[in-house]
Amino acid sequence: MLNRLRKEIDEIDTQLLALFERRMDVSKQVGAYKKERNLPVLVPEREQMVIKSRMEATNNPAYKDLVADFFNDVMTLSRRLQQQNMPVVPKSVPQTEILRAGYLGRPGSYSEEALYDLFPNTKEAIPADSFSAVLNLLTENKVDVCVLPVENTSTGNIEDVMDLVHSHGWYITAETTVSIRHALAAPTGAALADIRQIYSHPQGFLQCADFLGTLENIEKIPLASTADSALSVSESGDVTKAAIVSPRGAKLYGLTVLKENIQSVNTNTTRFIAVSKNMTAPSEADVVSIVFTLPHESGSLYEALSIFSKNSLNIIYIQSRPYPGRQFEYRFFVDFAGHVDDPNVQKTLEELRDHTVEMRVLGCYPSAREH
């Protein structure tokens, strides 16, 4: 019985192998087409559509999740094959003047401050209420660039942002840092003892945890941004409500500052990135951002990181993120000092690509960090 079943599996595998080789041949042709037209290898919307359609096409609903895993693996291998024939560094375009930019929150938010720090001549700043919504502005060509927070010195990485940037196949073109000085602000006539509800972005609550711990009988209400919180409290006119907001935001929405500098760390700083559909690599750029996925094997991370050490390149940032749909597998986002035009950097990237399941350059831009 077992021998018969094994023979049947061998026959099926023979058919699968022929179909797999045929699929890889077609995938190589797709890669050549993309290379000729400077198109990205990763097209998330296409992959999601394929997986969904294959799950719907299965005759056995019990296999839906397995079908999704199977085609996810097949497309990962297809991307890997296509990338082997692509330049390790994507073609860059000259920087252009930014006329429209998207950001999180509303006027008075720290994201808006970062936007004007990066692009002081922006003609139109368009707010959105979530990271996904900000990036959708770029998808819909309503803006030329998006500005998003990625890291805070007191609370660490801001989850999901890098995942979203990578999943869209876009590029980081600039970065800046903004000093975060939180204040507790309320409608005119309020006193600290009156406050029963405090509104803020979740990061605001985290960054002011020590101060909030000194207050009693306080309800914390999260909103999309600190500026949204200030607007909500201002419109309520309720002296029992307060917002965690920048002093600039408090003034903009007519609130009275009850307590300044309530952040737990006085050197509290948030790093913001600018995201565009096109890769730029200005001559003054001194940091390269990449993302890669490693084979699920012992020592693979050590081997990948040792490539940077061997080539005397300084890693200045690393973040691991769960690989969607795979248990206990991770993507790694890495920033290192250098420029993509440097032959040593190109050599490093080529070596790294050989040691990874997939690797992509996310950007080359002037750093706002010391390294």
CB proximity list for 184: less than 8 A, separation 6 or greater: 192, 195, 198, 211, 242, 243, 244, 257, 258, 259, 262
Q: Please state, in angstroms and as integers, the Cα–Cα distance from residue 342 to each residue in 131, 146, 279, 281, 368, following that order.
A: 33, 28, 16, 11, 20
Any idea which of 28-42, 54-68, 341-355 has the lowest mean pLDDT? Answer: 28-42
Predicted pLDDT of residue 323: 75
Average pLDDT, stretch 47-64?
A: 89
Average pLDDT, stretch 358-371?
A: 89
* pLDDT band for position 90 (cuts 50, 70, 90): confident
pLDDT for residue 326 is more than 70: no
Q: Tens digits of per-residue pLDDT, 250-295?
A: 999 999 999 999 999 888 899 999 999 999 999 999 999 999 988 7
Q: Tens digits of per-residue pLDDT, 13-42?
A: 999 999 999 999 999 899 888 877 767 777
More confident residue, 79 or 116: 116
* pLDDT band for position 199 (cuts 50, 70, 90): very high
Classify residue 338 by burial, with Cβ atoms within 10 Å: 0-12, 13-18, 19+.
buried
Active-site hit among 71, 131, 272, 333: 272
Beta carbons of 275 and 166 less than 8 angstroms apart: no
CA-wise closest residue to 92 among 280, 275, 283: 280
Active-site hit among 122, 155, 173, 270: 270
Predicted pLDDT of residue 138: 95
pLDDT for residue 371 is more than 60: no
CA-wise closest residue to 99 among 116, 121, 114: 121
Catalytic, 333? Answer: no
* pLDDT band for position 107 (cuts 50, 70, 90): very high
Catalytic, 14? Answer: no
Q: Tens digits of per-residue pLDDT, 203-255?
A: 999 999 999 999 999 999 999 889 999 999 999 999 999 999 999 999 999 99
Q: What average pLDDT does the structure give for the chain?
A: 91
- Where helices occur in the chain by DSSP H, the ranges are 2-36, 44-57, 64-84, 110-118, 131-139, 161-168, 202-207, 209-212, 226-236, 247-252, 300-310, 343-355
